[in-house]
Chain A
Amino acid sequence: MTEWLKEVEPLTLKGQIAVPYAWWVGDVGSRFLVALRDEQKILGSKCGKCGKVYVPPRKNCGRCFVDIDEWVEVASEGTIEAYTIVHYSYAVQPVKPPFAYALIRLDGADVGFLHLIKKDLGKIRNGLRVKAVFRKKRVGQILDIDSFELIEPLRRT
């Protein structure tokens, strides 16, 4: 490296790419989100071949490689399969830390459902029961479920 390069002030160019998208949700996803919005119900779809109930619902089963055409309503209650309590913040998070993410096995489903837990963070354990809390104002997106809340500690008392 020539000597003068060591004397150069390193500049940065600040920039941001802000590209608007309008992702089509698709027919299956739309029915799921409309059910959240209008009925406060969580819908899944059941593969006719392997019997697996997917939530959110899928239009086809990737493993069986067949179309799915059976709808099922799953419970808005379930069991915590995995969780993490998050202690950092960044722009996309919908809630201020600390809060938790959990994979929740809703009753009647065969896969985990990813969502938020905002309260009783110190009491969260694997295997505890939770229920969905719906937002008052719902717009047809995944955050129409505000979060999940623990129900087990209440039952124990």
Chain B
Amino acid sequence: MNKAAIIGVAQTKYERRKKDQIFADMVFDVTRAALDDAGLVLDDIDSVVTVSNDFFDGRTISGMSVGDASGGQDKNISTVSGDGTFGAFYGLMRVLSGYQATIVVAHYKGSESDVKITTNGMFDPIFHRLLGIEMISAAALQANAYMNRYGIGEEAFAEVSVKNHGNAQNNPFAQLPMKITVKDVMKSRKIAEPLKLLDCSPISDGAAAIVIADEKIAARGKKKPVWIKGVAHCCEDYFLGDRDLASPVALREAAMKAYAMAGIKTPLKEIDVAEVLEPYSYMEPLWLEGLGFCEPGEGGTLIGKGITTMDGKLPVNASGGALSSNPILVAGLARLIEAVLQVRGEAGARQVKKVNTALAHGFNGACGQSHCVWIVGGNK
């Protein structure tokens, strides 16, 4: 593979309601900020990938409405309707196929619509949609299947919420920095059992952008390039009942491919920090199993062992993760941005010591139907 690097990043603060900005305003702000961060001007960019969803935006071909704001005028612009990690994947492919620099920009305004109705819309209309199932109740089924398979208690998931909301206190972009206890999580309102309010991510508004460039442009950048060492994605069955919800096989496959590309043999030893997309607390341990950081069923013990905490062997979601801010679609791109900031050493109060190799993860679809895994590093 030719070399490509992430040379510019930007994100908005994530908030429940951004009353002063339409989504094109957010896109404009982060696009310009990512260019500034890279030390480039718009003329250096020859390709634009926007990330948006028509149903979320209430607008067909919603990518077109942010064409101007994303610097896409007179350029090759295309849209990914899915998580930002997949948008970044498309952006990388464009650079590898000859474009010199691609802007990837994602936006989401949860405050403008009803996330239960919009995510009910991702299910099959004939067999499933009439049942009323949506994102939260589907996740709760997966949490139940996972707990039942391995005998995991709800407290193990509560610990993830405590850790990530706690980490969010070090992240100026986070929506819900909170100092809470396992007891607070356990006592919070039941949403869809076993998930309680503090096991679930908030509704968020926000946008994020990155610049992916070839070697030549990367050499001109203002910041130290963060090189893309490995990336892969993989998808499994659409119907929930066709899948083993307690075993994230698509994630395992994506991780193995990304590790092989990056030359990683023992992920826990070779990766310094991980940002995984966990809009529900149980997802973090389950995804860590899929990513091969532990054996199946052991994800829930990683916090207790002090492995995934800020001072652990593999800090996970030092940013506070999606549990503390969940602009859907943007959230995966935010994981990649956080990984880049960690490799640069620019993560401020949430900086993990001595980061050279970082992992970022995002997913699409109910209960993680399709996963995307990124390995980025400081060495070319």
| Chain A residues close to B by CB (< 8 Å) | 5, 8, 10, 15, 17, 21, 23, 25, 29, 33, 54-56, 62, 81-88, 90-95, 101-103, 111-116, 126, 141-143
Residues of B within 8 Å of A10, CB to CB, are 19-20
Please report the number of residue pairs spanning A and B whose Cβ atoms sit closer than 8 angstroms: 107
Beta-carbon contact of B20 and A112 below 8 Å: no
Beta-carbon contact of B193 and A82 below 8 Å: no
- For window 144-197 of B, CB contacts with A under 8 Å fall at 144-145, 148, 189-195
Residues of A within 8 Å of B193, CB to CB, are 84-85, 87
Beta-carbon contact of B131 and A94 below 8 Å: yes
Per-residue CB contact flags for chain B residues 105-149 toward chain A (1 = under 8 Å, else 0) read 000000000101100100001111111111011001111110010
Taking the nearest CB of chain B, how far is it from the CB of A110, in angstroms?
A: 9
Q: Which of A5, A62, A111, A126 contacts B144 (CB 8 A)?
A: A126
Residues of A within 8 Å of B134, CB to CB, are 90, 92
* Bound CA–CA A17/B19 (angstroms): 21
Taking the nearest CB of chain B, how far is it from the CB of A30, in angstroms?
A: 9
Known: A90-B117, A112-B240. A23 touches B144 (CB 8 A): no
Residues of B within 8 Å of A95, CB to CB, are 132
Residues of A within 8 Å of B136, CB to CB, are 88
* Bound CA–CA A117/B149 (angstroms): 21
Taking the nearest CB of chain A, how far is it from the CB of B351, in angstroms?
A: 29
Q: Does B237 contact A (CB under 8 A)?
A: yes
Q: Does B245 contact A (CB under 8 A)?
A: yes
Beta-carbon contact of A56 and B192 below 8 Å: no
* Bound CA–CA A113/B20 (angstroms): 45
Beta-carbon contact of A54 and B242 below 8 Å: yes
Taking the nearest CB of chain A, how far is it from the CB of B154, in angstroms?
A: 13
Q: Which of A8, A56, A112, A114 contacts B131 (CB 8 A)?
A: A114
Q: Give 10 new A-B contacts, CB below 8 A, not counting A87-B193, A126-B148.
A: A82-B145, A84-B141, A84-B192, A85-B193, A87-B191, A88-B136, A111-B239, A112-B240, A112-B241, A142-B126
Q: Does B263 contact A (CB under 8 A)?
A: no
Residues of A within 8 Å of B195, CB to CB, are 84
Beta-carbon contact of B128 and A103 below 8 Å: no
Residues of A within 8 Å of B192, CB to CB, are 84-88
Residues of A within 8 Å of B239, CB to CB, are 111, 114
Taking the nearest CB of chain A, how far is it from the CB of B247, in angstroms?
A: 13
